[in-house]
């Protein structure tokens, strides 16, 4: 199972690719991934070593990575 906790090897394996005109802009594995924001429709943020807060559109997800390897998720609508 993928370990997404801060400092875990898999948290350091990420990439970012965007394009400005015909020129690609990218970054790969530049430290622990902590937050991703794209306009007002995607926001993912590490709140703690084992907890992520993720907003996609009007849905909010709390994702908790448990020590036994299971994942607990809670979903709600955003008030925004």
pLDDT, one tens digit per residue, over 37-78 is: 999 899 999 888 788 899 999 999 999 888 787 889 899 876
Question: Taking the alpha carbons of 71, 62, 74, 28 in that order, is the dihedral positive or negative?
Answer: negative
Band of residue 23 on the pLDDT scale cut at 50, 70, 90: very high
What is the pTM (predicted TM-score) of this model? 0.68
Residue 30: per-residue pLDDT = 79
Q: What single string gives the DSSP state of each residue in 6-23?
A: TT-GGGG--EEEEEETTE
């Amino acid at each position: 199972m993928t370990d997404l906790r801060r400092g875990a090897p898999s948290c350091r394996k990420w990439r970012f690719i965007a394009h400005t005109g015909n020129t690609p802009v990218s970054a790969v594995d530049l430290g622990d991934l902590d937050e991703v924001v794209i306009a007002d429709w995607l926001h993912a943020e590490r709140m703690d070593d084992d907890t992520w807060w993720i907003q996609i559109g009007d849905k909010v997800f709390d994702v908790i990575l448990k020590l036994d390897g299971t994942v607990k998720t809670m979903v709600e609508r955003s008030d925004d």
